[in-house]
Structure 1
């Protein structure tokens, strides 16, 4: 979905396809017809954006990439951003910390990202020059040391050089966006600024995930100010909302939280204790007593962005205001990323339910951007 910012900039609104399982590009194309085209029809828009997730083994299949490009054209869909965070098997029965592997100190991560850049350059619409790829924030914190840090920064510099070559060869400018996430080597905006300061700023910035920001009790205003000071750009944002429980020690609060315990994904949990953010790597640990439960809990569980009760939707609204409400947009790429539909307690039981849910999220986000002055095209 395209919108026009008051300054004339073109804003792209999409949802992330990592909600749909697909192991290869033909599988991605099939999911676009099964779900995404129906979301577009439900929204009644001439074109709908989709942020693709492509598993590593599928990236180099050029023939399938051509078929996917034709499918996008046929279904009136467009791609300007890729989610390069999960490497593969994102829909395995258990994902947890496997999603952070391989990390940026390993060759496989940089080669995967280079392949994504070349794929995105092929898929970008003819009238769009710039694309974005979000990626993991170097790696999971455990086992990470100076050697891994040094090697990961070399890997990022190598990818930046490849992005420059892609631009020279294709005329398409693809940028990489590290996505701070709780529990990772880079989990806060301050850590992102420290790692990225001066590192290929024309090609590498951050993906501001609103759920992750809220879980860490950071604000959009503070994030943008810190990134500006460090000279780090917001390449894309993931429009997302976290689970929020104000009284986690109450019977009602614990019952609500227990309803979000599931075995597939990691649900980092945070609380402010003695004016500092403390947390656990997963929700069950918090419920078993690893957090004092004396104040509000925020949980890394991506909940539908149009839902207000027990979510960080207010924080999401503030973040969108910082990104799209000023004289010029901080980023032009807005990707709704609620990948957890299948593990929610009240998850849709059929295709129609999921299509309706995705459309509602996009409608809500569109309306927030319009309220900030954008015009739907």
Structure 2
């Protein structure tokens, strides 16, 4: 779907296909028929955006056989679909029985990550609608935080310079601009906007920036307005927003809440969990035990102080206190639906992010991707997945029009 911001910017809204399982081109094409086109029909729109997740083998085929990219674009157009963004964070195997930390491999110190990302940009340049101003590709925030010795950090930084140069070459060759956004995520080298500024400041803002995931922002208890100002002041553009919600337990000591959280502690994906507290005095702050080994500073974390563990079962088994504040869980919950009571989502904070980016006189982001990849691991998976995705997109559409954007369907 397309919307028009009051400043004239075309804003693209779609959903991410990493919710679907497919690791070959035929599977991707089947997704368009089985899921994406039915979502478009449920919404009653002529054109629907879909942010494609293409596994490494699919990308390799599309880059080595140009006719296959044309075939994919033709199929998108025939079904009333368009692609302006790719999710290149998962490399392959995103729907294996167990994914967990493997999703962060290869990282940005590995040549394979640079090669894959540039290939994704080439594919996207071929898929972009003729009237789209630019494309975007999202990627991981350098690496999982450990091990990350100085030599790997230096290798990754050099890779980012090569990435910017490669994107410039693609634009010169194709006439299409593609930007790459690094996605801060709990537990990674870059998990907050403060760390994004520290690690990414000084990169080419015409080609590189941040993919802001609203779920991750909420899990880290970042205040949306302050986070967006921090990025803007550092010259880091938000090249893409992943519209997503975290799960929150207001009282993690409540037995009913803990039982509901247990039902979310599934084995496939990593569900980093955080809590926050406003410490009463200096002694209490000093005595607090940080469970993450990177010892982030209070200045990076902001106020309140944030503590975390790497997965929800660790929190439920005693890794996080239950008496200092709410827990937030990296579990992408459907935007439009409440989880099992007394749990709730951070949908209100997502609304603040949307308002911060698009509620002012200028559009500060033009690609929005609903990324709820967890439908299959919900305690009660839906029997009507297209209906659920359509309801999420309708929720996002209503928020955008409520901010003054106009529906701009073709």
Taking structure 1 as the reference length, the TM-score comes to 0.98
> Quick check: which has more Rg, 1 or 2?
2
**Matched residue, 1:2:** 2
1:21 aligns with 2:21: yes
**Matched residue, 1:282:** 311
1:342 and 1:65 map into 2 onto residues whose CA distance is 29
1:342 aligns with 2:376: yes
**Matched residue, 1:372:** 403
The 5 Å alignment of 1:309-328 reads: 310-328=344-362
**Matched residue, 2:192:** 188
1:86 and 1:154 map into 2 onto residues whose CA distance is 21
1:200 Cα offset (Å): 1.5
Among 393, 404, 408, the alignment partner of 1:362 is: 393
**Matched residue, 2:69:** 65
Aligned length: 374
Displacement over 3 Å in runs of 4+: none
**Matched residue, 1:131:** 135
1:201 and 1:11 map into 2 onto residues whose CA distance is 19
SS at match of 1:59: helix
SS at match of 2:60: coil
1:220 Cα offset (Å): 1.7
Deviates more, 1:109-118 or 1:51-60: 51-60
The 5 Å alignment of 1:66-215 reads: 66-215=70-219
1:256 Cα offset (Å): 1.3
The 5 Å alignment of 1:162-311 reads: 162-273=166-277, 274=279, 275-294=304-323, 295-308=325-338, 310-311=344-345
1:156 and 1:32 map into 2 onto residues whose CA distance is 33
Deviates more, 1:24-33 or 1:332-341: 24-33
1:66 Cα offset (Å): 2.0
1:25 and 1:230 map into 2 onto residues whose CA distance is 39
2:307 and 2:100 map into 1 onto residues whose CA distance is 20
Q: What are the Cα deviations for residues 102-126 of structure 1, in whole angstroms up to 9, with x where unaligned?
A: 0000000000001000000000001
Q: What are the Cα deviations for residues 38-83 of structure 1, in whole angstroms up to 9, with x where unaligned?
A: 0001111110000000001111323332211110011010000000
1:346 and 1:7 map into 2 onto residues whose CA distance is 42
1:338 Cα offset (Å): 0.1
SS at match of 2:239: strand
Q: What are the Cα deviations for residues 128-175 of structure 1, in whole angstroms up to 9, with x where unaligned?
A: 130000000000001012111111111111111111011111111000
1:308 Cα offset (Å): 4.4
1:58 and 1:45 map into 2 onto residues whose CA distance is 28
1:269 Cα offset (Å): 0.2
**Matched residue, 1:42:** 42
Deviates more, 1:150-159 or 1:302-311: 302-311
Unaligned runs of 5+ in 2: 280-303
SS at match of 2:307: strand
User: 1:25 touches 1:65 (CA, 8 Å); kept in 2?
Assistant: no
Alignment RMSD (CA, Å)? 0.9
Unaligned runs of 5+ in 1: none
1:25 Cα offset (Å): 2.2
User: 1:219 touches 1:319 (CA, 8 Å); kept in 2?
Assistant: no
Q: What are the Cα deviations for residues 298-339 of structure 1, in whole angstroms up to 9, with x where unaligned?
A: 000000011246100111111110011111111000000000
1:68 and 1:133 map into 2 onto residues whose CA distance is 17
1:245 Cα offset (Å): 0.6
**Matched residue, 2:294:** none
